[in-house]
Amino acid sequence: MSFSPQYYEILEQIQKHMAYQSEISIEEVKKQSIIPAITPKKFSINEVKLDEQYRVKSREYLMDGLKIYEDVIDEKWKDFDDDGLCGEWVKVKDMKDTGRVVLYLFPGGYYTGSSKSSRRIAQKIAEDAECSVLVIDYRLTPQHQFPAPLCDVLAAYLYLTNPGPEAGFEPIDPKQIVFAGASAGGGLAVATALFLRDVGLPLPAGLVLWSPWVDLTSSMASQWKPEMNKTDFVSGKLNSRKLGPPSSMSIEYLKRVKILSEKINQKKPNVVGHPSFTKVPRFRLYCANEALAIPYVSPMLAESLGNLPPILCQVGSGERFLDSNILFSFKASDPSKFQLPKYATTNFAKSPFKKPTEVTLEVYDEACHGFQVFSIKRSCDFIKNYTLNESILDKAEGNSIDTIAINPNCDIRELDAKFLECLSWENVGVIPEVEVEIDQME
């Protein structure tokens, strides 16, 4: 991986494209995200529609596991009023079947993205990691708020590990499955693993996280540093996506927001949170402010990130998610030490999940959000190493984190001490006191 002048030209183009997308309707953004990428002849693409039984079972797990949060969640997630859970299997035609499977979760801030637009990266993973890749079209906001995407990913995992006769394949050993996700997809991968852990279901072999969105409160310092404007394209404003011009989709969304807001005001639920959550208007399409500290929304805020599968977390030093990804990684590797945020740690002493999670944290100099599309070799090596590899999976317990920095010439060194300053950040999970850009429709 080597940054050339072309890299910065591409970054500038992405920044302009993101600015353009913020001004068009959300329907138009979604249309652009389902344009299929070109498929070379050596790959096969098989579209799949999962039997609804998997989502029905997933919904049962979630209704039980999320009961304590139900008063801050839009109930519409329970309605399967779409065309079903669809996706694509991506494989290399002439490659020997290794039995290895990657469940890839696309980026897009929970409001955009698709299996079709993810074909290029899915093909790279299939070839370099010598595996089959399943990309599912999980439900997106604003039509479907939290936990609709989580429900769909859990359903896909049930499909892989306990398929019905209609699936056409035998149950896949969880130790042969790796979750991989970028940005929101990375956050969703962690959220799914957390939920599997919490309800006692088998865990996958590992998690490959590309700049995962693990803190929807935007509480960490790197989110607001002015210098990030030059090196990243992720918004530095508190709301990550405006609704754009009025449309049927945005009008229906605002209707749902009003219903949920009225329910919260009436129920006055006692959920984990911080006073800063209610000092600003709602700023996420994905969930209400009162839901931001739910661990399946913002995994970085979970009381414990222990007992998870081995994690590879890659982040660029030039991106806004830098601090949250570093704190998340250290917190997973040493859950007894990094019990943050303070307002969410009252029950850690009683937590059954105290075993350190094995973490590899890689910080890439100057790289922007989503830089992984330029080089996935290390990710694919991780996928191959952690599927059915007992010698690695049974590493000794203890503080289990390997941290490295990588420059544009792919030279590896120890992680600079300056990157660890975020570990002592006092306002973890606290919405910063900044001006909120309110959508004109609200």
Q: What is the residue extent of each domain of the chain?
A: 5-424
Q: Is the dihedral of CA 399, 401, 405, 411 positive or negative?
A: positive
**Closest to 379 measured CA to CA, from 5, 129, 176:** 129
Token digits for 33? 């995200």
Least confident of 137-141, 214-218, 339-343, 374-378: 339-343
b/e sequence 222-234, b meaning 16+ C-beta within 10 Å: bbbeeebeebbbb
- The torsion defined by the Cα of 131, 135, 136 and 138, in degrees rounded to 10, comes to 130
More confident residue, 392 or 103: 103
Q: Give, as one character, the DSSP assignment of residue 289.
A: G
Least confident of 13-17, 97-101, 313-317, 378-382: 13-17
pLDDT digits (tens, 9 = 90+) for 352-410: 999 999 999 999 998 989 889 888 999 999 999 999 764 444 444 445 899 999 988 88
The pLDDT, as a whole number, for residue 430 is 95
- This model's pTM is above 0.85: yes
Q: Which CATH number describes the domain made up of 5-424?
A: 3.40.50.1820
SS (H, E, C) 76-114: HHHCCCCCCCEEEEEEECCCCCCCCEEEEECCCCCCCCC
Across the beta sheet with 206-210, the strand order is 43-49, 86-92, 132-136, 101-105, 177-182, 206-210, 311-316, 359-364, 401-406, 412-414
Q: Which helix (H) or strand (E) holds 161?
A: helix 148-161
Mean pLDDT over 319-328 rounds to 97
Evaluate if residue 5 carries a pLDDT over 70.
Answer: no
Bridge partners of 207?
179, 311
Residue 186 neighbours by CB under 8 Å, 6+ apart: 105, 107, 209, 210, 211, 212, 213, 214
* Packing angle, helices 184-199 and 148-161, rounded to 10: 60
Evaluate if residue 90 carries a pLDDT over 90.
Answer: yes
Q: Give, as one character, the DSSP assignment of residue 335.
A: T
Residue 293 neighbours by CB under 8 Å, 6+ apart: 217, 271, 272, 273, 274, 277, 301, 341, 343, 344, 429
Peptide bond into 36 cis (omega under 30): no
The pLDDT, as a whole number, for residue 396 is 42
Evaluate if residue 442 carries a pLDDT over 50.
Answer: no
Beta strands in 170-244 (DSSP E): 177-182, 206-210
Residue 67 neighbours by CB under 8 Å, 6+ apart: none
Evaluate if residue 264 carries a pLDDT over 70.
Answer: yes
389: amino acid identity, one letter: N
- β-pairing, 177-182 vs 43-49, is unpaired
Mean pLDDT over 243-264 rounds to 90
Percent of the chain with pLDDT over 70: 93
Token digits for 127? 């070839």
Q: Is the dihedral of CA 364, 368, 371, 374 positive or negative?
A: negative
As a whole number of Å, the CA-based R_g of the chain is 20
Residues 197 and 307 sit within 8 Å (Cβ to Cβ): yes
**Closest to 104 measured CA to CA, from 128, 83, 126:** 126
Q: How many CB atoms lie within 10 A of CB 373?
A: 13
* Average of per-residue pLDDT values in the chain: 90
The pLDDT, as a whole number, for residue 236 is 79
Residues 178 and 103 sit within 8 Å (Cβ to Cβ): yes
Evaluate if residue 111 carries a pLDDT over 50.
Answer: yes
283: amino acid identity, one letter: F
Evaluate if residue 240 carries a pLDDT over 60.
Answer: no
Evaluate if residue 241 carries a pLDDT over 70.
Answer: no
